[in-house]
Amino acid sequence: MTLTGRHTCKVTAAYGDWRIHEVSMGQDVYIDLVKLVLPKEPTILPLDSVAWKGKHLPSKFTGDNCVCCGGDRYRDCDTSYPGIVVEGITNPYQLPYRLIDGKHRVQKILDSGATSAPFYLLTKREVLMYTDTTETDLCSQP
């Protein structure tokens, strides 16, 4: 699987405080997905130990009614690709794992009735290497 793009970590009305406090309390922190080196094998984790954007929201704001995409990305996503989680990093739910990629997939898995799922598990140190507070800085990294 090839990862593309980057995720913004910020405060939003819909999802709450998803800033990475270890990096910045400012609004613009990016995780550069392209540069992440994923482990060869995913790890099975219980979903109740994973924080993802919108985890607390009722169904009228998730799934087919997703507030970020109107349900398009939820319907189109392929759950055979594991999400990416980071262990021991700030999240609004104070859970052990923070999802940094794959919230529509995780929601779809949860809605199917599953209580656990495979995830690529990264350490905080591995991810913080690929965060920055400006898009320019990220692009200039080797």
Partner 1 sequence: MKVVPLFPTPLGLIDFGEVHQRQDIELVQAILRAYESDPQGKQSSQVGGWHSHPLVEFDPAFEELCVLVKEAGQGFLSHLGYDNPVNHVDCWANINNKGQFNMFHHHNGSLLGGVYYPVQSLSPEGVLGFNYGADPMKPGSWGGHGGELVIQSPNYNLQGHLSKKTPSAWNTDHYHINPTSGLLVLFPAYLTHSVMPVMDDNTRISLAFSFL
Pairing of strands 97-101, 116-123: unpaired
Query: Shortest approach of partner 1 to residue 126 CB, angstroms?
Result: 26
For partner 1, which is the closer residue by CB, 45 or 131? 131
CA distance 18 to 95: 13
Q: Select the residue interacting with partner 1 from 67, 95, 128, 138 (CB under 8 A).
A: 67
Q: Is 95 in the site for partner 1 (CB under 8 A)?
A: no
CB of 19 to partner 1, least distance (A): 8
Quick one: 45 or 110, whose CB is closer to partner 1?
110
Q: Strand 131-132 and strand 16-17: pairing?
A: unpaired
Is 27 within 8 Å of 135 (Cβ atoms)?
no
Q: How far is the CB of 122 from partner 1 (least distance, A)?
A: 25
Site string for partner 1, 3-32 (x = CB under 8 A): -------xxxxx-xx-------x-x-----
Residues at the contact surface with partner 1, assessed by CB under 8 A: 10-14, 16-17, 25, 27, 56-57, 61, 67
